[in-house]
Amino acid sequence: MHTYCITGGCGFIGSNFVRYLLNKYGSNITIINVDCLTYAGNPLNLKDIWDEPRYFFRKIDICDKSALKKLFKEFDINYIVNFAAESHVDRSIQNPEAFVSTNITGTYTLLETARQSWETEQGFLPERKFIQISTDEVYGSLGKTGCFTENSPLAPRSPYSASKASADLLVKAYSDTYNLPVNITRCSNNYGPYQFPEKLIPLVINNCLNGSELPVYGDGKNIRDWLYVEDHCGAIDLVINKGLPGEVYNIGGQCEKQNIEIIKAVIRIISGLLPDSKNIGEVLIKYVNDRKGHDRRYAIDSSKIRKELGWYPQTGFEEGILETVKWYLDNRDWLLDVTSGQYNEYYKQMYKGK
Ligand SMILES: NC(=O)c1ccc[n+]([C@@H]2O[C@H](COP(=O)([O-])OP(=O)(O)OC[C@H]3O[C@@H](n4cnc5c(N)ncnc54)[C@H](O)[C@@H]3O)[C@@H](O)[C@H]2O)c1
């Protein structure tokens, strides 16, 4: 019976991962969701599992040393899976401070709490691991060819990616210095249900539904590798169970797309699903000034996790993007709650000292 501490479990990937674990392991595991509920943390993302007996929520900031210490006394935690982060590049350009605080100091505070709680005179307790959820953005930007391997140098270029790379180095330091069992996963762009509508795909869907402009940075030809969120969750589960301590694993969909291709794909699917909505179309596309320091291309070589752990993505882009668009169309209340800011209220109603 393992106990998982999932930080950032009310965010996009964290909430999908909590649901993934519960679907797979059911009542054989305990899950503690540690989230301080920033603007990106939405308790509604886990509304359906809020009353599960082995699911616990704690409203804690990962920079809060004493709250984490208390948590580790309350629960015998086996795995920390650290999703909690400030995650939006544009916000990091406007206001980097929160990124330094949560992504660097928060990761340090979690590492130190884990070290102090898990270390004994005989070494670390068995069946313990710290999994850092990182990003391909720590490797910087690529030209037209090539892709990042786990041995590519860290060359982050935005405050967001620099803060994530700093966190990765701290995790590595805790492994090298103290032998703390850790893994770092570096994944490409995720898409799927429950993503905050400031990110490209849900933003385009939401704006299409409202008949608003679809802003495209620069020439729209920046390239990202895309992975369906459920496939990311499967990869993390494998890394927790099979990943060798101290190892880094790249995770990617081998699915490179230009931003403009993504936008056109979403428009095509929505127009097909809502044939009566005459005002949804490519006329909504509006090219705007490029993002400062906009990385041109990311591409990831994930052959290590494929060969060593037997992972492969199960959802192709056409299937995943169709499912994703359908989900947002079927969950317009969710979109409305998020865009209106209503979702903050739900926490107060749902939180009963759980
Ligand atoms: N979204 C992607 O495409 C992607 C790709 C690769 C890696 N990642 C990484 O995966 C992780 C999750 O990304 P996401 O897109 O789900 O992010 P998100 O912004 O949707 O969610 C972040 C969550 O962390 C919580 N949080 C923020 N600061 C906190 C703090 N100080 N203490 C406790 N909780 C805090 C927020 O309330 C929110 O619930 C991040 O670490 C991100 O760097 C994301």
What are the pLDDT digits (tens) for 244-257? 999 999 999 999 99
- Alpha-carbon torsion 147, 150, 152, 158, what sign? positive
- At 333, list the tokens: 């209340």
Residues with CB under 6 A from ligand 1: 7-8, 10-14, 35-38, 40-41, 61-63, 83-87, 102, 106, 133, 135, 164, 187, 189-190, 196
State which ligand 1 atom lies nearest to the alpha carbon of 106.
31
Give me the residue label for tokens 């359906």.
48
State which ligand 1 atom lies nearest to the alpha carbon of 10.
39
State which ligand 1 atom lies nearest to the alpha carbon of 82.
41
136 in active site:
yes
Helix axes of 12-25 and 229-242: crossing angle, nearest 10 degrees: 60
**Cα→Cα distances 47→55, 100, 237, 334, Å:** 12, 30, 22, 11
What was the pLDDT predicted at 203? 97
Q: Which of 18, 19, 61, 87 to mutate to test the pocket of ligand 1 (most atoms within 8 A of CB)?
A: 87
Tell the burial category of 59 from Cβ atoms under 10 Å away from its Cβ (0-12, 13-18, 19+).
middle
Tally of domains in the chain: 1
Cβ(154)–Cβ(88) below 8 Å: no
Cβ(46)–Cβ(349) below 8 Å: no
The residue contributing the CA closest to ligand 1 atom 5 is 189
What was the pLDDT predicted at 171? 99
Cβ(136)–Cβ(186) below 8 Å: yes
What was the pLDDT predicted at 348? 67
Cα-to-centroid distance, 86 and ligand 1 (Å): 6
79 in active site:
no
What was the pLDDT predicted at 352? 58
pLDDT tens for the chain, residues 1 to 354: 899 999 999 999 999 999 999 999 998 999 999 999 999 999 999 999 999 999 999 999 999 999 999 999 999 999 999 999 999 999 999 999 999 999 999 999 999 999 999 999 999 999 999 999 999 999 999 999 999 999 999 999 999 999 999 999 999 999 999 999 999 999 999 999 999 999 999 999 999 999 999 999 999 999 999 999 999 999 999 999 999 999 999 999 999 999 999 999 999 999 999 988 888 999 999 999 999 999 999 999 999 999 999 999 999 999 999 999 999 999 999 999 999 988 877 776 666 555
What was the pLDDT predicted at 347? 72
Domain that holds residue 198: 2-350
Cα-to-centroid distance, 220 and ligand 1 (Å): 25
Cβ(331)–Cβ(27) below 8 Å: no
Strands (E) located in 194-233: 214-217, 223-228
The residue contributing the CA closest to ligand 1 atom 32 is 61
What was the pLDDT predicted at 266? 97
What was the pLDDT predicted at 298? 94
What was the pLDDT predicted at 354? 53
Cβ(299)–Cβ(225) below 8 Å: yes
Q: Which of 18, 63, 83, 99 to mutate to test the pocket of ligand 1 (most atoms within 8 A of CB)?
A: 83
Strand partners, 4: 31, 79
Residue type, 195: Q
List the Cα angle 305/131/348 in 5-degree steps: 130
Cα-to-centroid distance, 278 and ligand 1 (Å): 36
- At 120, list the tokens: 């004994």
Residues 6+ apart with CB under 8 A from 285: 213, 214, 216, 260, 263
Give me the residue label for tokens 């996790």.
305
Q: Choose the catalytic residue: 35, 86, 136, 230.
A: 136
Torsions phi, psi for 93 (to 5 deg): -75, -35
**Cα→Cα distances 314→13, 262, 298, Å:** 17, 19, 21
What was the pLDDT predicted at 202? 98
The residue contributing the CA closest to ligand 1 atom 18 is 11
DSSP secondary-structure letter at 28?
A: G
Measured CA to CA, the distance from residue 111 to residue 214 in angstroms comes to 40
Cα-to-centroid distance, 107 and ligand 1 (Å): 12
Can you give the CATH number for the domain in which 232 is found? 3.40.50.720
CA 123 to chain centre: 31
- Alpha-carbon torsion 320, 321, 325, 331, what sign? positive
What was the pLDDT predicted at 344? 74
Measured CA to CA, the distance from residue 120 to residue 336 in angstroms comes to 49
160 in active site:
yes
State which ligand 1 atom lies nearest to the alpha carbon of 195.
20
